[in-house]
Amino acid sequence: MLKALIVQETGRHAPYTHSLILLAQKTSLEFTDEKMDTLAEFMEFHIEARYPDENKSFYDKCTREFATRKLAEIEELYTWLTQKLKT
């Protein structure tokens, strides 16, 4: 969604990056500190999941309750971004 917003705003290809923070900064949206913290946490999940040998603690904290809560946060941010995308 962040890359779609960048393309929509600039008319150019979005940067080749997985950094959600960088992508958010490339949009004209005003992200609260809470939303930026959430994006940073999502990036941590990506790194931890992609490189599982890096830190087993990620898997240790992924209880059903934790995963359910984080999925709800992801859905909330996704919905917010979707609403910002012009149709």
pLDDT tens for each residue of 18-50: 899 999 999 999 999 999 999 998 887 765 555
Read off the pLDDT of residues 47-83 as tens digits, 9 standing for 90 and up: 555 555 656 677 777 889 988 998 999 999 999 999 9
Closest by CA position to 86, among listed 20, 16, 8, 6: 8
End-to-end CA distance of the chain: 13
Angle at 17 between CA 14 and CA 47, to 5 degrees: 145
Range of the domain at 40: 2-84
The domain total for the chain is: 1
pTM for this one?
A: 0.79
Hey, how many other C-beta atoms are within 10 angstroms of the C-beta on 27? Answer: 20
By mean pLDDT, which of 3-7, 12-16, 48-52, 62-66 is the weakest?
Answer: 48-52
Please report the sign of the dihedral spanned by the C-alpha atoms of residue 68, residue 71, residue 33, residue 43: positive
